[in-house]
Structures are given as C-alpha cells and as structure tokens.
Structure 1
Amino acid sequence: MHRRLPRALLGAVLLWGCGGKPPPGTNTPPAAADLTPPTVSFTSPREAWRLGAYQQVRLEGTAADDTGVERLTWRFNDGETRVLESTESEGGRAFALEVTPRPGNNTLVVRAEDATGHVAEASVSFHFGTLVSAGGLHGGAVRDGRLYTWGQNAQGQLGLGDTTPRSTPVLVAELSRVASIAINSNTSLAVLEDGTVWTWGANASGQLGLGTPPVEGQPRTPDTQPRNRPTQVPGLTDAVAGALGFSHALVLKADGTVVAFGKNNNGQLGDGTTTDRDYPVPVRGLTEVVKLAGGSQQSVALTRDGTVWAWGNNNFGNLGQGTEDSVAHPEPVRVPGLSSVVDIASGRDHVLALHEDGTVSAWGLNASGQVGNGESGSGFEVRAPVKVVGLTDVVAVYANSNFGLALKADGTLWGFGQNFNGQLGNGQSGSEHQAHPLADKAVVGLSELRDAAAGSTFGLGLRRDGQLFGWGWNSTGSLGNDTLQNNWSFPEPVVVKLP
C-alpha cells in the first residue's frame, strides 16, 4: 500500500530535482574541484628562430583550459604587461600579435588564467641579427651575447689587441651584449644591444668610421689607421644592423634610414659623391630599409615593401638595371622587376634576392656561375635579375667573392658558383664550378642550421644546437680548428672549436 507524500515535502523534492536548494539536513555531493591549469602554446615563430631583416614579427598561438580561459596577457622583452585579445578556435582561444624586435635576443611571454585562478605561462624567444660572419680569412660567431673570432689577423681584424693569427676561436673580451656582427675582407663590425656600433681591423679607406666630420676652414687629417681593438663609432647610438663591403661599411638605423663610411670611388656610400668618408654620412633617399648588403664596390638595400635598391659599381651589371657601365652611381636606384623580396646578399660583384615564395633571383658577374642560372664564364654577366635554377623553400641567402649559399626551411644549405677551394661544402673542390644548385650537392651532413656565412673562400654554418662548422680553404686558421692542415682545402664541414 503506497502512502502519499505531504504536499510541502513533495514540493521540496521536486524543487531539489530541478536544481533548487535541497531540503534542510539533506547531503549534497560536492562539485568537482578545478585542478587543471590552462595551457599556452606557440605555433610561430619556432623557438630560437633567427630574424635577418628588421621588420615586425608575427607571433601566433593558442590558449586552452577545461573550464575556459578567463584572461590572457602578454609581455615583450622588458615591456609592460598588456591584455591579449583572442578569438574562439578549435581547442581554445587563438591569439596573434605583431612586435618590433630589438637587436639581439627577444622574448615574448603569454600568460593565461582561468576562472578558478589557475595560471600558466609560455614563452618563445628569437634573435634579430647576424650570428656568424666571414671575411677574407677570418670569421666570427656570437654566442649568448659574446663574440668569438679566429683566423688571419694582420690588420687586427680579430679585435684581440694584437696582430697574431688564431687557429681556434678566442673571446673578444672588450665586447658584451653583442647583437649582430658583420665581417668582410680584413675588417669587422659589431652592433650591440644598446644600438652602438663598434669597428676594428683594416682602415685604409676610413671604413672603420672613426673620423671626425670636417669643420669648414679648419685643417683635417682623415682617420685611416687600423685598429686591433673594437672602437666605438662616434655618433651612432640607434643602430640595429650593419653590413660591410670590401672597403666600406653600411649601418641601418632604427628609423629605417642608412649611413655609410669608407671607400667611395664608385659612389658605394650613396651620398651623391665619390669622396671617401672616414665618418658616417647619410645614404640619400632611402627610408624604411630592413636589410643591407655590401659587395666589392656596390651596396644593396631591401625596404619594407619588398623592393631592392642598389648603388655604386656597375661594371658587371651589379645594379640590376639591365645595363653595365664603368660610371659611378652614387645614389640608390630601384632594381626593376623585383617584388616581394625578404632577404638579400652580395658577393664581390653579384647579388642575391630571396622572394617570400622561397625562390631566389640573382644578377651581376657570373664568371664562376655565381648567378645560378646554369651558365658561367667570361662574358656571361647577368645585367637584370633572373631566377636561380632549382631553388625553392629558401629562408635566407648568403654570398661573398664568387659564390652563394641558400638556407632552406629544413635547415639544409645549398651552394653554387666558384668551388675551387671547396667553399660550397659539397665534398668536391677543384676547377669545376657549379653553375646552379644541384639536387644531390647540399653542404655535406648538415641540417637544422640556424645561420650561415660566406667568406672569400670558405663557409660557416651554425646549427640550432649551437654547434658551429666550417668548410673550404683553411689558411691562417680560417676554419677555426687547429687540427687542420694549413693552406689546404676541406670540402666537407669540420667542427669550429668554439670555447
């Protein structure tokens, strides 16, 4: 026999079953505690990525939590913490932002918080600047803001206070917080994180930029003495990058303008004259520059809109104008037919331009196949940009003397041009040049490279784990390994002995 519940008790039961409060004295199962913190991950850029051009970096990622992300904030380098906008996405909240890098290492931190108060942080770091560079017979590498140099030192280009060559890398103790380096011929340049510029080595044309600007009516002696220790270039405190030609220097400032100093016989300083300058002078008409490159007597600039500008020597079609001549060109001119360029490099008298689609264009002297169009020899100059044969998926380009190197997205390195001393690193050397990259002729055994450099007759490759390699002509310690025979070719990579 069933008994009917009293109306008041029946109402309480119904209310409790529909989500109301339980009647007095009734036990309620506790709600499950939220013990899981959010997660934050980055999809780009890759950790320890190296940025070669001075432009905004887009960072993307997602934040997720089992109960929902309540708040996202971000902090870039030493800046203030800010709210990070995000949108709903599969698996959480998607975020994206663009930041302007500073010279050297950069770090972005994203913090996520859920409704319970659990927090999680993730960070990604990348480097803006050149980490390895190579000249005539000396090289340099930056590790944790400290600079190491090795090789020939007759002009004091190692910055060690003497002219003694070194067959293994030595710390340049006077410099710290080094963001970027440029080495060419017998001269060296460093840009520090604070925007100052330091130079040392050969200075016969004033390419160290250490002179004092002239004062009208007063006598003046140009500063052309070599330096065997780093010396600060006066008046430059807002530099972000630098480049060296054979006897001239280019410096990119934070506002996108350029100054130059050194030899100027072909107008390679871009100041409208052919007068050598031992102090920085503005390059005419250039703004929004993001990358610079120097050759024997020509200069090249990449601007934010993806166009390329060149000035100086044009004996071999160096300026990419479709012509060649022996007339000085002391002001920048745009290279026609080029767009969407993201990186540039210059050899002695040829130029490389990387497009955002991963292909490469080139022009200039082609005696050794350094333009990469499949031809080579005297009279095969290329006066306007042509595509390098067989190159795709490239992320950076390098050049010096009569050869070039292309770094692919998978971290492998591919060379073309002169290979007499094994500077292409493909296991071969001798009189046979390589007129374009070959499918089976990458730099032997190297992958996961972060940066690379081309010297006059040798190459360098920096792997993402910090290990450095060199190949090509070893003379006076140029490959940074004291177990190697002097004045000998090594066409496959060997370890550079960083301390």
Structure 2
Amino acid sequence: MTGQALLEGESHHEGTTVTLSGVSDGVTTDAQGRFTFDNVPTGTHTVAAHRSNYEQAGATLEVQPGQTTSVDLSLRRRQEALVLEAPALTVQRGHLKLTGSGFGEARGASRVSIGGVDAEDYLSWSDTEVVVRVPGSLAPGEQEVVVTPGVDWKPTATASLRVLRQRTLAHAANWGIGVLPDNTVTVWGSAGSLNDVTPAPAGLSDVVSVGAGMAFAVALQADGTVVKWGGPDPVPVPSGLSDVVDISANGVLLLALKRDGTVVAIGAETAPQTHVPEGLQDVVAVSAGAYHGMALKADGTLTAWGQDVFDLLAVPADLDDAVAIANTSSSALALRADGTAAVWGFGAAYYDLALTPDLGDVVDVAGGEHHYMALRSNGTVVAWGNGAFGQTTLPAGLTDVAAVAGQAFNKSLALRRNGTIAAWGDTTSAWSLPPPGLVLRVPAR
C-alpha cells in the first residue's frame, strides 16, 4: 500500500507518522509526504496519519491480493489556541508539570523555556500535559514560562511562576546532610538516636533539597516526593504526599511546601506546630522552628503557629513586605524588601538579635541556636547574636559563599561556590563536622 499525507499550508511534509491496522509498525512520510507499507495482508484496513498540531486524517480501504492500493490524506491545522497553566511554585532541578491544551500529541520541534533558559530534559509530553525538569542553572525568583509550538503558524503561550532555590546543605546540632553533585545524599555526624540518620536509605537519588530535624533526616526528590528517615520513632510522610517544592525541618517538625502554595506539617499529632492554620495558602517560603512553624506568603505577610512560647507567634502587625524568613530556638526573623529586618521573640532582646547589622543586598538568611547569618549577593556573609563560641566571627577571606545553613547549634556553616563547606564556631567535635574534601552541589543564585 502506498500513499501521500500532505500538511495544510506546508511545502515540506516529512515526519508525519502513519499507522495501518493489522500492521504492527508505523512509518513516517518523506519530504513529499509519501509513505509505503509492504506485505500488507489482504482485507479491509484503516490507515491514519498523526502529527502534533494537526487534525488526524484517515481512511478505510480494501487491499486486494497482488495489487498495490493507494490513498491520499490531508492533515488540517488545529486552530485552537494553546492554553497554558503553570503552578505557583517550582524548584531548581525539580519536575515542572504544565497543564492546559493544544501542546500537541508529541513534542516534535516544540520547546519550553523558563526564565529564558530552554529546558533540556523533557520527561513527558501530551496534548494536555507537559513535564520538564527545571534547569539547575536557573536563578530563583519570579520567572516566565514560555511554550513555543513546533509550527510557526501557532502562537506561543506564557505563564509566570516562582522558582525556589534548592537547599543542598542542612545541619542539626551534631550532624549534617548534603546533596552531592550526582544528586545523591551524604550524611555525617550522629543524631544520637536509637535509629540514627546514617546511613541514608538505599537507592535514594535525584534529590534536590535536604533538611535536618533533631533526630530525623529528610530529602526532597525532583519528582516532588519526600523521603524521611531516622528515629527513634519517626512520624512517617503521609501516604500520597506529592508536588512538594521545598522542605524545612527543625526539632520534631517537618514542613513541606507544595507547588500550589499550601503547606503540610509532619510531626507528632499532639504538637501544636504540626497543625497548619486552616486556609493557609499563597505561601512562597516555610521555616520550621523548635516550637512553631512560619510561612511567608506571596504578598509579603507572615503566618506563625504552634506553641505560644518565647512570644514567637507575636508577628509584628506592620510586617507586610517580607522577602525571606528564618528563626533561632527563641526568636524569629523576617527580612524586609528594603533590607531591614523584623526580629521578635524572647531571644530578640536577650541575645541582641534585634540589633541587626546592615542587611542591604541580602539574598538569604539562616538562624543558629542563638545567632543569625545573612548572605549578600556578592558572596559575603554577616553574622550577629550570641558569639560565645565564635559562631559570629567569620573566617578570614570568606567571600565566595553560595548558601548559609542554620540550626547548627553553636557553630555556623556556609557552602562555598566551589561546593566546599566552611565551618566555624564550636568545631571541637571533629566527628560532627563535614568530612575534609567534601564537595556538594551548589544551587544557582
């Protein structure tokens, strides 16, 4: 059987897939749209031509013994506009699911870009759903998603979302966890529990972010699932939890931020900090505390919940321009858009945490036991608060920092741009420090 499948409005017709009932393998057309099926069984057959962004064309025909049957097909353009819906949030290197209609049955020459960076890893493609991996080189912040169809007669579609930064280094009092360049995890030190955090679960891979609770470890995988381990009696991740784009762990609490801006808290049912306020939405960042949880919303306001200790729930009434959040064991901090900070709770005054240094050009904040660190865009760090162990005295020449990690008790940790870790403060227990020569994945800034 021979035939020709022509594309409406085109002069080149190669690449259309043609299938024939009763024949297992399809064929593709050449530049003139021609195709051939050899050794077709006699009888009635249905032939169909498929191509993204075109209506399917088909015909029913009879194949006679010893004869060549011919058919001509014409594929009309699908005129409906491409409809694109993007989630509110995604994360560097995470899977981004785009929904809508008119993407085309197969990707073909279509492409997706995020913040002007073309996606390279396409995980699935259908007419109503596309899944790509967010480029790891993409800077965090508000970005535009563009879907460009593989045909020049169909307009592009755009949507906006917020890209969150990976957390590739986390620490607790006596142990830490990091994401390696191959996207597996490494754990050092000891949580001292009956069911320790080492080793990491076998087969854990494609990790984008990690967190460290008092005696449990947690990893966020690129597909939006969460893996939690440690003990001695860990509260499991809820069955079916998915679409997670960020995690924050502290004490017994784990907060999971989902791509739709809602929050899931994981911990003991009796702990008030595990009960997220009803109706909380439009969240863009979370910070777990020892006694409370905090959520930063897209409008710059803050919600805090949990145990009413250390006045941590007394969020300043005029706080409506926050861009980043962190906490110590007895205080909370919100970085404002103008480079100042609001600090509240018992520790704000007791440990002089409210006496903030110049926080202009700060892009990240983290809290230790009784001190804070702030990272500037030029890679320098400032630290303030309780410095009894030297945790606020920065090492000389520390000017190439990519991220700061909190909750390391009386020490401070910073991830350099070359993937190595700087640690200072109470570093007397060598077994609790990152191993010499350790190199972690460095998130783009």
TM-score (norm 1): 0.54
| Matched residue, 2:319 | 338
State how 1:264-283 maps to structure 2 within 5 Å.
265=270, 267-271=272-276, 283=277
Alpha-carbon offset, residue 362 of structure 1: 1.1
CA contact (8 A) 2:92 2:135 kept: no
Q: C-alpha distance in 1, partners of 2:271/2:164?
A: 34
CA shift, 1:349, in A, is: 2.1
Aligned counterpart, 1:398: 366
The 8 Å contact of residues 141 and 147 in structure 1, kept in 2 or not, is answered as yes
Report the equivalent of 1:105: 136
Residue from 117, 132, 147 that aligns with 2:169: 132
Tell me whether 1:200 sits opposite 2:229 in the alignment: yes
Query: Secondary structure of 2:211's match?
Result: strand
Is the radius of gyration larger for structure 1 or structure 2?
1
CA distance in 1, matches of 2:349, 2:395: 18
CA distance in 1, matches of 2:210, 2:184: 11
Q: Displacement of 1:404 after TM fit?
A: 1.1
Give 1:443 deviation, angstroms.
4.6
- Asked if structure 2 preserves the Cα contact closer than 8 Å seen for 1:104 and 1:193, the reply is no
* 2:197 alignment partner, SS class: coil
The one-letter code of the counterpart of 2:206 is R
Cα 1:74/1:269, change in 2 over 3 Å? closer
Residue 496 of structure 1 and its aligned partner are, at CA, apart by 5.8
Equivalent of 1:209 in 219, 222, 236: 236
Query: 1:466/1:136 Cα in 2 relative to 1: closer, same or farther (>3 Å)?
Result: same
- SS of alignment partner, residue 335 of structure 2: strand
Give the structure 1 partner of residue 397 of structure 2. Answer: 445
Letter in 2 for 1:363: W
Looking at structure 2, the residues matched to 184 and 104 of structure 1 have their Cα atoms a distance apart, in angstroms, of 28
Residues 370/450 of structure 1: CA separation in 2 closer, same or farther (3 Å cut): farther
Change (3 A) 1:369 1:198: same
The C-alpha deviation readout for 1:409-452, integer Å capped at 9, x for no partner, is 2111111122232222x1xxxxxxxxxxxxxxx45321121111
1:203-246: CA deviation from partner (whole Å, max 9, x where unpaired): 54x4x424xxxxxxxxxxxxxxxxxxxxxx52112111111131
| Distance in structure 2 (CA, Å) of the matches to 1:102 and 1:418 | 41
Paired with 2:203 and 2:409, the residues of 1 have a C-alpha distance of 27
- The residue type equivalent to 1:341 in the other structure is A
Task: Sort the Cα spacing of 1:157 and 1:291 in 2 relative to 1 into closer, same or farther, 3 A.
Answer: farther
Structure 1 position 359, deviation (Å): 2.4
In 1, Cα distance between equivalents of 2:164 and 2:322:
20
Pair 1:478 & 2:419 matched: no
Residue 178 (structure 1) aligned with residue 215 (structure 2): no
Distance of 1:364 and 1:101 partners within structure 2: 42
Secondary structure, aligned partner of 1:477: helix
Instruction: Note if contact 2:344-2:354 (Cα within 8 Å) is conserved in structure 1.
Output: no
- Please list the CA deviations of residues 12-35 of structure 1 after superposition, one character each: whole Å capped at 9, or x if unmatched: xxxxxxxxxxxxxxxxxxxxxxxx
**Secondary structure in 2 aligned to 1:105?**
coil
The answer as to whether partners of 1:182 and 1:244 remain within 8 angstroms in 2 is yes
State the Cα distance separating 1:308 from its structure 2 match: 0.9
- Classify 1:180/1:371 alpha carbon distance in 2 versus 1 (closer, same or farther; 3 Å): farther
Whether the 8 Å contact between 2:342 and 2:354 is mirrored in structure 1 is no
**Equivalence for 2:293:** 299
Aligned letter for 1:365? F
Once the two structures are TM-superposed, the CA of residue 314 in structure 1 deviates from its matched residue by: 2.4
Once the two structures are TM-superposed, the CA of residue 136 in structure 1 deviates from its matched residue by 1.7
The 3 A distance-change label for structure 1 pair 157 and 103 is farther
**Partner residue in 2 for 1:8:** none
CA shift digits 1:81-119 (9 cap, x unpaired): xxxxxxxxxxxxxxxxxxx99678255999xxxxxxxxx
| Identity level (%) | 30
Question: Is the 2:328–2:372 Cα contact (8 Å) retained in structure 1?
Answer: yes
AA partner of residue 362 (structure 1): V
The AA in structure 2 aligned to 1:497 is: L
Distance 1:260 1:373, change over 3 A: closer
1:131 and 1:142 in contact (8 A); partners too: yes
Distance 1:295 1:102, change over 3 A: farther
Residue 406 (structure 2) pairs with residue 456 (structure 1): no
Per-residue deviation, 1:157: 4.3
The aligned counterpart of 2:160 is: none
**Aligned partner letter, 1:345:** A
How large is the RMSD of aligned CA atoms in angstroms? 3.4
- In 1, distance between residues paired with 2:349 and 2:176? 23
Q: Could you tell me which amino acid in structure 2 is paired with residue 209 of structure 1?
A: P
Within the alignment, does 1:259 sit opposite 2:261 as a pair? no
Q: Could you tell me which amino acid in structure 1 is paired with residue 361 of structure 2?
A: D
- Post-superposition Cα deviations, 1:239-277, rounded to whole Å, max 9, x if no partner, equal 111111311211111111111121355521224xxxxxx
Distance 1:132 1:405, change over 3 A: same
Q: Does 1:75 align with 2:118?
A: yes
Matched ranges for 1:406-417 at <5 A: 406-417=374-385
User: CA 1:422 to 1:187, structure 2 compared with 1: closer, same or farther past 3 Å?
Assistant: farther
In 2, Cα distance between equivalents of 1:101 and 1:249? 27
Which of 208, 220, 235 is the equivalent residue of 1:191?
220
Distance 1:314 1:397 in 2: 24
Q: What is the identity, as a one-letter code, of the residue corresponding to 2:359?
A: L
The residue matched to 1:352 in structure 2 has which SS? strand
Corresponding position of 1:365: 346
User: Where in structure 2 are there 5+ consecutive unaligned residues?
Assistant: 1-90, 97-112, 124-130, 140-144, 147-162, 441-445
Determine the C-alpha separation between the residues in 2 that align with 1:471 and 1:104: 32
1:139 shift after superposition = 0.8
In the alignment, is the contact (CA less than 8 A) between 2:166 and 2:208 conserved in 1?
Answer: yes
In structure 1, the residue matched to 2:15 is none
Number of residue pairs matched by the alignment: 299
Residue 420 of structure 1 aligns with which residue?
A: 388
Letter in 1 for 2:417: R
- Bigger drift between 284-293 and 470-479 goes to 470-479
Q: Work out whether residues 104 and 127 of structure 1, in 8 Å CA contact, stay in contact via their aligned partners in 2.
A: no
Distance 1:398 1:407 in 2: 9
Encode CA deviations 1:27-81: one digit per residue, 9 max, x unaligned. Answer: xxxxxxxxxxxxxxxxxxxxxxx979xx9xxxxxxxxxxxxxxxx996335469x
